[in-house]
A = this chain, B = another copy of it.
Amino acid sequence: MTDALPTKDRLIQAAMRLFRSHGYNGVGVAEILAEAKAPKGSLYHHFPNGKADLAVAAAQKASDEMLRLIAISFAEAESFKGGATTLCHKLAKLFDKTGWDTCPIAATLFEGPNNAPFRAAGQHMYDGWIGEVQDHASRFGLDAAGAEAQSEALFIAIQGAWMLARARQDSDVLRRVPDRL
Residues of A that sit less than 8 Å from B by CB:
22-26, 102-103, 106, 110-111, 119, 122-123, 126, 149, 152-153, 155-161, 163-164, 166-169, 173, 177, 180
Chain B residue nearest in CB terms to A103: B163
What residue in chain B is nearest A169 (Cβ atoms)?
A: B119
Q: How many copies does the complex hold?
A: 2
Q: Within 8 Å CB of A161, what residues of B? A: 156, 160
Closest to A26 in B: B25
Hey, which chain B residues are within 8 Å of A25, CB to CB?
22-23, 25-26, 111
| Interface residues of A, dominant DSSP | helix
Cross-chain contact of A126 among B22, B167, B169 (Cβ < 8 A): B167
The answer on a CB contact under 8 Å between B26 and A167 is no
Contact yes or no, B166 A160, CB < 8 A: no
The answer to whether B157 touches A156 (Cβ under 8 A) is yes
The answer for the CA separation of A106 and B100 in the assembled complex, in Å, is 13
Residues of B within 8 A of A158 (CB): 160
Distance A102 CA – B168 CA, assembled complex (angstroms): 19
| Interchain residue pairs A-B with the least CB separation, the first 9 | A160-B160, A156-B160, A25-B25, A159-B160, A25-B26, A123-B167, A23-B111, A159-B163, A126-B167
- Given A23-B23, A26-B111, A111-B22, A164-B169 contact (CB < 8 Å): no
- Residues of B with C-beta under 8 A to A126: 164, 167-168
- Asked if B159 and A155 make an inter-chain contact with CB atoms under 8 angstroms apart, the answer reads no
Among residues of B, the one whose C-beta sits closest to the C-beta of A105 is B167
Report the minimum CB–CB distance from A21 to chain B (whole Å).
9
